[in-house]
Structure 1
């Protein structure tokens, strides 16, 4: 049981780190683009920023879904481990 929890925690941490890195890279790219193409293409910059916002929301939703799934998996594992003989095979 402890091993499963450790693995889950490691996976969650790795996913979070990757997500943060991706977001940082995207934001940096947007900033570079702003510097490169000055006011001419304000529309493009606005569109890119909107895309980044949407991406951030999507990533947050994905993370939340992942967390919920992990919690559900852990609950199922605990129930199966603890109550296998009792109410599992009733």
Structure 2
């Protein structure tokens, strides 16, 4: 069962993963709206994940969601990069 300390980072990691998928899809199909959604998902995932990681007490394996928060930040950054690349490519086309 997920506790309250792990639920938010897990949800943020899923949002970050969705942003990565949408960013990749926006790059391959040159879709501007999908790129903007990927940017928003990456921004949300990385900022809130970083805030949760900064406020987490203890280290990895203590059940406070630190691993999920780190994963959310990493996926959020990748989502931001892919969404930004797709947005640049859609403006050129």
Shorter-chain TM-score tier: 0.3 to 0.5
Q: Which has the larger radius of gyration?
A: 1
Write 1 or 2 for the structure with the bigger share of helix: 1
